[in-house]
Amino acid sequence: MRKLCPNIDKDDGLETVLEVPIPEEMFSGMGNNVALRWQNMMTWMKAQTSDKWSQPLIAARINELRFLLYLVGSPLIPLQVQVGHSVHKPVKDCSIQASTAKYIVQQYIAATGGPQALNAVNSMCVTGQVKMTASEFHQGDDSGVNLKSNDEMGGFVLWQKDPDLWCLELVVSGCKVICGSNGRLSWRHSSNQQTPASTGTPRPLRRFLQGLDPRSTANLFLDATCIGEKIINGEDCFILKLETSPAVREAQSGPNFEIIHHTIWGYFSQRSGLLIQFEDSRLLRMRTKEDEDVFWETSAESVMDDYRYVDNVNIAHGGKTSVTVFRYGEASANHRRQMTEKWRIEEVDFNVWGLSVDHFLPPANLQIEK
């Protein structure tokens, strides 16, 4: 991945370190030579400033990219997972399904390095690249939606520190999204966005649970139940299921929308103990200006692979996420859309020296309650 940007204004000037590395494939598609590629990238970035928003082509392009980055690249999980806390082993009176789930989670902890290795991690920095593709909204329930032929390429940098601090910077085709948590609230906004940043209670990034942070995954599924078995990519897997409580759904609902349900599933290999697939499904009811209900159902399925050890912790270094969005309601024709993301982890570093709370401050325009 490209980490340095040449000084375009001065030929003999020092190179600049990119805030977010970009994939080599993305860079090579921007021109016939290196100088032209960097010039094209700078032109694209400058074209997305606020004074250019009156141009319909640019506005539509950025809105499309932001939709992808919010829904596929940086979604949040509704539960307040104990990111950065020690893995616990509660053994109490509970149903056979719940106790079975706890046993499966303990096997997963062992498969990803064991409690000592997982609890020794107090911070991390991850860089990776993504490739995203999306279909147009398609009317009806027809599953034969053809995806666009062009892929959106990008890269990301993810920082995490105990307790419950994280920040993600994700750049795809020149559009950037920054989201994070300072332990008291989480936020998300686009560098090309004129509206205020969206905020809420602290929640973990879904990307943590895609084989990247085993400790968070274990803490999430300790409260799950085992509902059966399923074969995933030739692997016999246990299925763990987790439902969000009415209190959590109510707390995360707003004045114009209500979360009807949000369910999470984890598929753990019976052979290796590793998390093979992670799914979640959410149903949202929104009230329109015409005082009518429109429902949005979003289902995401992530398959992880290429597990490798980094400092005695077993991390998934690649995978694919498929997202389906289904919109329906009395005042809206049924529309369906499919999106995919393929990602690859390039570097993982644990226990980053010098990483402080100041690295996870929210945008300056947010009003933070003391």
Identity of the residue numbered 15: E
Domains and CATH numbers, the chain: 70-359 (2.50.20)
Close Cβ partners of 159 (under 8 Å, ≥ 6 residues apart): 123, 124, 125, 166, 167, 168, 352, 355, 359, 360
Instruction: Supply the pLDDT for residue 370.
Output: 39
25: left (phi over 0), alpha (psi -120 to 50) or beta: alpha
CB atoms closer than 10 angstroms to residue 254: 11
C-alpha–C-alpha distance, residues 23 and 301, integer Å: 24
Identity of the residue numbered 49: T
Tokens of 11: 């030929």
Instruction: Supply the pLDDT for residue 53.
Output: 44
Instruction: Supply the pLDDT for residue 325.
Output: 92
Cβ atoms of 21 and 127 closer than 8 Å: yes
Tens of pLDDT, residue by residue, the chain (370 residues): 767 666 656 666 676 667 677 776 666 666 667 667 666 666 655 554 444 444 545 566 677 788 888 889 989 887 766 555 556 555 566 788 889 999 999 999 999 999 999 999 999 999 999 999 988 766 655 554 455 556 888 899 999 998 789 999 998 877 888 899 888 888 888 766 654 556 667 788 999 999 999 999 999 998 899 999 999 999 999 999 999 888 888 887 777 888 999 999 999 999 999 999 999 999 999 887 777 888 999 999 999 999 999 999 999 999 999 999 998 876 666 788 899 999 999 999 999 998 988 889 887 766 554 3
Cβ atoms of 1 and 22 closer than 8 Å: yes
C-alpha–C-alpha distance, residues 14 and 226, integer Å: 56
C-alpha–C-alpha distance, residues 145 and 15, integer Å: 44
Instruction: Supply the pLDDT for residue 182.
Output: 87
Instruction: Supply the pLDDT for residue 176.
Output: 84
Distance between start and end Cα atoms, the chain: 40
Instruction: Supply the pLDDT for residue 218.
Output: 93
Instruction: Supply the pLDDT for residue 46.
Output: 55
C-alpha–C-alpha distance, residues 274 and 260, integer Å: 31
Instruction: Supply the pLDDT for residue 8.
Output: 59
CB atoms closer than 10 angstroms to residue 264: 23
Instruction: Supply the pLDDT for residue 106.
Output: 94
